[in-house]
Amino acid sequence: MPKKPLILVTNDDGITAPGIRTLIKVMNTIGDVVVVAPDSPQSGMGHAITINSTLHIEKVTIDDGPQEEYSCSGTPADCVKLGVREILDRKPDLCVSGINHGSNSSINVIYSGTMSAAIEAGIEGIPAIGFSLCDYNWSADFKPCKPYIKTIAKQVLKHGLDSGTVLNVNFPKSDKKEIKGIKICRQARANWEEEFDKRQNPYGKDYYWLTGKFVNLDHGEDTDEWALAHYYASVVPIQFDLTAHQSIQYLNTWNLNEK
């Protein structure tokens, strides 16, 4: 009998979040699942790791399983590091992160703890996927995502991914409309126009809330933002080599050794 694939599951919304509970159920239909996820929400942590304080792991039982689960005091990237180095007895065949409550399309991938966990797995040479639903509601409906998640995960297990590449998958908010299918996309060029809401506490000390609006500057029809706006799931292959290779030749024309 063929051995089931070993699947590491994590997220950034915390181990009890409805998104990860849905993802665990889907992965249980594919392989042997081990969960290592934060014990509290870690959204927007990016690729932060814990170096100035201790880390704690606790084996937990949240539902009937059959998955094995660990709650971690650290960040999403910490969870992957600990899972691979301390908990698992072999390298997993797949790491999946999510399902995130909210979008990780376009520039959001830079800030995302969900995607940083997937990237950390990719750095370890593990095929990895980050899944997100563009709905921040804690009681969001993840059911329409499930068949697509299963298909994508099985295809990655079957075909593998290019070295240095992980997948960023986003699903549109349903709004009572069905997902039309999957589009392979590029990351849209977009940014956040940010503002700080300045307030004072009862002692007269200033404090700030970060606010802002997302601005899509890209009108291409091959982007993740276009796909999501038209009710397609977007799949963007991303790389963690941040070298701007196209700039190397230009920089070599500078006289940087001049004194």
CATH of residue 173's domain is 3.40.1210.10
C-alpha to C-alpha distances, 7 to 71, 83, 92, 232, nearest whole angstrom: 16, 11, 6, 26
Residue 159 lies in a domain: yes
User: In angstroms, what is the C-alpha Rg of the chain?
Assistant: 20
At residue 47, the pLDDT reads: 87
Residue 35 lies in a domain: yes
Residue 20 lies in a domain: yes
At residue 259, the pLDDT reads: 79
Name the least confident of 67-81, 161-175, 207-221, 232-246: 207-221
Mean per-residue pLDDT for 49-78? Answer: 93
CB–CB of 136/114 below 8 Å? no
Give percent above pLDDT 90 in the chain. 81
Counting Cα atoms < 13 Å in the Cβ hemisphere of 42 gives 33
For residue 168, give the nearest of 213, 223, 212 by alpha carbon.
Answer: 223
Residue 47 lies in a domain: yes
pLDDT in tens, 118-148: 999 999 999 999 999 999 999 999 999 999 9
CA dihedral 74, 77, 79, 81 (to 10 degrees): -120
Could you tell me the residue range of the domain that residue 128 belongs to? 6-189+220-251
pLDDT in tens, 204-249: 999 998 888 888 889 999 999 999 999 999 999 999 999 999 999 9
Q: How far apart are CA 173 and CA 184, in angstroms?
A: 18
Write down the mean pLDDT value for the chain.
93
pLDDT in tens, 94-109: 999 999 999 999 999 9
Return the bridge partners of 238, or none.
166
pLDDT at 15 over 80: yes
For residue 184, give the nearest of 169, 201, 205, 164 by alpha carbon.
Answer: 169
pLDDT at 66 over 70: yes
C-alpha to C-alpha distances, 212 to 107, 135, 191, 194, 215, nearest whole angstrom: 14, 17, 10, 4, 10
**Residue whose token pair is 């949240």:** 62
Mean per-residue pLDDT for 59-82? Answer: 94
Mean per-residue pLDDT for 85-91? Answer: 95
| Type of residue numbered 103 | S
What is the SS3 assignment for the chain?
CCCCCEEEEECCCCCCCHHHHHHHHHHHCCCEEEEEEECCCCCCCCCCCCCCCCCCEEEECCCCCCCEEEEECCCHHHHHHHHHHHHCCCCCCEEEEEEEECCCCCCHHHHCHHHHHHHHHHHCCCCEEEEEECCCCCCCCCHHHHHHHHHHHHHHHHHCCCCCEEEEEEECCCCCCCCCCEEECECCCEEEEEEEEEEECCCCCEEEEEEEEEEECCCCCCEHHHHHHCCCEEEEEEECCCCCHHHHHHHCCCCCCCC
Residue 259 lies in a domain: no
At residue 61, the pLDDT reads: 94
At residue 33, the pLDDT reads: 98
At residue 178, the pLDDT reads: 92
pLDDT at 177 over 90: no
Residue 52 lies in a domain: yes
Residue 44 lies in a domain: yes
Residue 65 lies in a domain: yes
Residue 225 CA, distance from chain mean position: 16
pLDDT in tens, 24-58: 999 999 999 999 999 987 877 788 888 889 999 99
Tally of structural domains, the chain: 1
At residue 1, the pLDDT reads: 60
